[in-house]
Structure 1
Amino acid sequence: MPTYNKLVRDRIPEIIDATGKAFTTRVLSEEEYLIELKKKSFEELEEYHDAETREDAIEELADLMEIVHAFAKYHKTSLEEIEAIRHEKAEKRGGFDKRIFLNEVED
């Protein structure tokens, strides 16, 4: 039986159950959840990084958005509040539209 030891989406146990396979799960504590959610964010970002097609990249971006939703809920905020902060930072420091790559800054 393969061992995964990772955070999975809420419906994964019912999907596995429908296949008739045996499995075990447990509910994480608040502290464990944040740790595992952070790990999951890196996993999903790596999958986005490795995506080779537009379709795969968009699917991985959707997974990253699901992680952002979970982080927002964990931190008792909303996507609207996060978006307002993103907008404020973009106003002050800009976005990434111009593709500027900083090589070095003189001391």
Structure 2
Amino acid sequence: MPMYNKLVRDLIPEIIEAGGKKCVTRIVKQEEYLEEIKKKMQEEALEFKESASEKEAIEELADILELVYAAIHKLGVSYEQLEQIRTQKKEQRGGFFKGIYLIEVEE
């Protein structure tokens, strides 16, 4: 049986079992939950980087966004609070819409 040892979406066990397979799961401890979200976010970011089509890229972004929702829930932050911080940082430092690529900074 393949070993995964990773955080999965809430309905994955039911989907696996509906397909006629069995799986072994556990609920992560609260003290490890945020770390597992971070690991899963890295996995999804890599899948976004390696996406071959626009559709795949959008699906990976949706996975990342779902993980953002899980992380802020765990951290006790509302989406509105997160959005306020994002907006404040954008006002102070800008966004990423212009595609500016920094080569070097001369001292």
1:16 offset after TM fit, Å?
1.1
The runs of 4+ residues in structure 1 deviating greater than 6 Å are none
1:94 aligns to what?
94
Identity of aligned residues (%): 53
CA separation in 2, counterparts of 1:104 and 1:78? Answer: 37
TM-score normalised to structure 2 length: 0.95
The alignment yields a C-alpha RMSD, in angstroms, of 0.9
SS at match of 1:61: helix
CA separation in 2, counterparts of 1:45 and 1:27? Answer: 23
2:41 aligns to what?
41
Q: Aligned pair count?
A: 107
Structure 1 unaligned regions, length at least 5: none
Structure 2 unaligned regions, length at least 5: none
SS at match of 1:43: helix
Provide, for residues 14-42 of structure 1, a one-character-per-residue CA deviation record: whole Å limited to 9, x for no partner: 11111221211111101221111110000
1:59 aligns to what?
59
